[in-house]
Structure 1
Amino acid sequence: MELFESILQQVAAWPEKPGVIYLTMDGESTMDKQPAKRLALIKNYGLAHLFYIQTNCELMKKTQERRDL
């Protein structure tokens, strides 16, 4: 998680932000063991509007789905 946060910190400091950031490019984001923590970090660094999350939600439980999304 330290590397992920370090990358977010660096991107947040860029004067010109990318148009979009994919959390998992063509991967399954629900396989992440700490999705809520990653999403909170993204939000805390003010980058939530840049992120796209791709999933078919196959691996999510209803309670997890409501909490994380």
Structure 2
Amino acid sequence: MITICLNELLARRRLSIVELSDRTGIAVRHLELLRDQKAVAVRLRTLDVLCRALNCTPGDLLGRRDEDAG
């Protein structure tokens, strides 16, 4: 399963989801869906905007875990 490591990146940068929304123009609700692993798709444009705002690469933002790992 592909995971989005948004919580970890926000914590490391001491940013709130509201601050990230202000920086990116992405609605808080959409960021919450990403943070909570509820999103079924991510546009490349969204990924690019998040990477720019968090000063990271897609590899920092995305991860993978085995389905059995829970």
| Shared fold per TM-score greater than 0.5 | no
* TM-score, normalised relative to structure 2: 0.28
Q: Over alpha carbons, which structure has the higher Rg?
A: 1
* TM-score, normalised relative to structure 1: 0.28
Name the structure, 1 or 2, with higher relative contact order (CA <8 Å, separation 6+): 2
